[in-house]
Amino acid sequence: MEIYKLTPAYKDNLWGGTKLKTEWNKNTDLPIVAESWELSCHDAGPSVIANGENAGKTLKSVLTPEMLGSAAAKFEFFPVLIKLIDAKENLSVQVHPSDDYALKNEGEYGKTEMWYIVDHEPGAGIYCGFEKEISKEEFSRRIADNTLLDALRFYEVQNGECYFIPSGTIHAIGAGVTICEIQQNSNLTYRVYDYGRIDKKTGKGRELHVEKAVLVSDLTEYKDKVVPENLGGGKELLARCPYFTVIRGNFTQKDEMETDGQSFLSVTFLSGEGEIEGQAFTKGDTFFIPANYGKVNMTGKGEYVLAKVE
């Protein structure tokens, strides 16, 4: 049984920058890298195994129920997708539908997600949900007259903060923010507002999905900024929901974790360097640990986010 180091899929969305190449050790010929899909079994961007006898194969192609674990195997699709995102410019204001709506109308999962702020420029921030509850009529009117941002809750972010974003929550990452995103395995997005931008690849504005967004959006006040729970041993619980549990860890000499057959573990290193079970890691590396692997030892120094399914 092996631990797999993963090579991500890269996305060159028009709002992306170069930090993932220059600061996060991402090796690609793309001139900009908006997203690196670190742990992905989605057909729109599968991650590839970088080591061992399965090197060069997609992670999805080698997974077995035993590697997934009993909690993760109950999902029809691999449940989690993990990204690093570099927003040089503002992302569109958008929303993701619930599972019920998405599976019925789009043929894939909805999208609940979590953002961990790993870096930001002074004054940079994000939009999450509404400052106060509004009606569908007001929502539609604000989209039409370009005043939607005035109704959204804006957070000037700090490194280490965490935001939980249930499906149906209107949101946008602002320019100058770098995040680690843990989300459901979905690529389904309804754009509501895109600042009037023109996509250089097409020469046109990007498609908006206003009617669908009005149907699926939660119009209540946003209250899901995360207060981490101290677990001891340099670990904090950041999020727990049916689709993923996320823990942040810090260590200066050694650390350990263990699988119990219930779920795989995904570990993305946000800083540091060292070894995980004898394999070298550095900032930006992601590893997949099968659910039936057992005890995992790490040495060196680092900060990481760990994702699993419970």
Active site residues: 191
CA-nearest of 119, 120, 161 to 271 is 119
CA-nearest of 89, 74, 39, 73 to 59 is 39
The length of the chain in residues reads 310
CA-nearest of 89, 116, 52 to 246 is 116
Residue 257 pairs in a beta bridge with 296
DSSP state letter for 148:
G
Question: CA-based angle 244:305:3, to the nearest 5?
Answer: 85
Q: How far is CA 158 from the centre of its chain?
A: 17
CA-nearest of 293, 297, 299, 250 to 271 is 250
